[in-house]
């Protein structure tokens, strides 16, 4: 029933009719409609979800360094983090298996061995 040809809306004709009607509107009405549209758009922006993937993308872009100095600072921070992680990892390894530290440290091996 719904798909009968006589019941179908021709979107092109509908759009043309709307355009024609809009051109016939008074300036006051057009201005009021524009105001309402702007207001509706502002409300929509305010009610945008705070957390969204697009939002994260924008924030990530803001956080990325843009100038050479910022890149240099970021590189220094990154190198410091990597070096810190390496030292931390070495310490963990040394605690787990301190043989190398015993064999190479400045404390004589006799100090660790029961006589």
Partner 1 sequence: MRTLLLAVFCFFAPLAGAESWNQLPPAEQAALAPIQTQWNTLPEKAQHNFRRLAQQYPKLTPDQKTRFSNRLATWASLTPEQRQAAREKYRAFSHIPKEEREKIKQQARQKQATRLQQPASAVPPVNARP
Using the minimum distance from each CB to partner 1, give the nearer residue, 70 or 93. 93
- Minimum CB separation from partner 1 for residue 62, in Å? 41
Q: Hunting for tokens 């945008």 — which residue is that?
A: 48
Structure tokens at 104: 């190479």
Q: What is the C-alpha separation between 77 and 74, in angstroms, rounded?
A: 5
Q: How far apart (Å, rounded) are the C-alpha atoms in residues 83 and 89?
A: 10
When the beta carbons of 1 and 103 are compared against partner 1, the nearer one is 103
Residues that bind partner 1 (CB under 8 A): 95, 97-115
Q: Which residues contact 15 (CB under 8 A, 6 or more apart)?
A: none
Nearer to partner 1 among residue 54 and residue 109 (C-beta): 109
Q: Residue 87 Cβ, how far from partner 1 at the closest point, in Å?
A: 14
Residue 55 CB partners (closer than 8 Å, separation 6+)? 49
Q: Which is nearer to partner 1, 57 or 105 (CB)?
A: 105
Q: How far is the CB of 95 from partner 1 (least distance, A)?
A: 7
Least Cβ distance, residue 69 to partner 1 (angstroms): 35
């Amino acid at each position: 029933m719904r798909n009968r040809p006589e019941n179908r809306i021709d979107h092109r004709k509908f759009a043309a009719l709307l355009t024609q009607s809009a051109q016939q509107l008074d300036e006051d009405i057009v201005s009021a409609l524009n105001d309402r549209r702007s207001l509706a758009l502002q409300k929509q922006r305010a009610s945008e979800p705070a957390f969204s993937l697009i939002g994260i993308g924008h924030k990530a872009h803001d956080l990325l360094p843009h100038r050479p100095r910022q890149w240099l600072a970021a590189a220094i921070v990154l190198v410091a983090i990597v070096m810190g992680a390496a030292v931390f990892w070495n310490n963990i390894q040394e605690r787990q298996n301190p043989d190398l530290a015993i064999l190479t440290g400045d404390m004589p091996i006799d100090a660790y061995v029961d006589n």
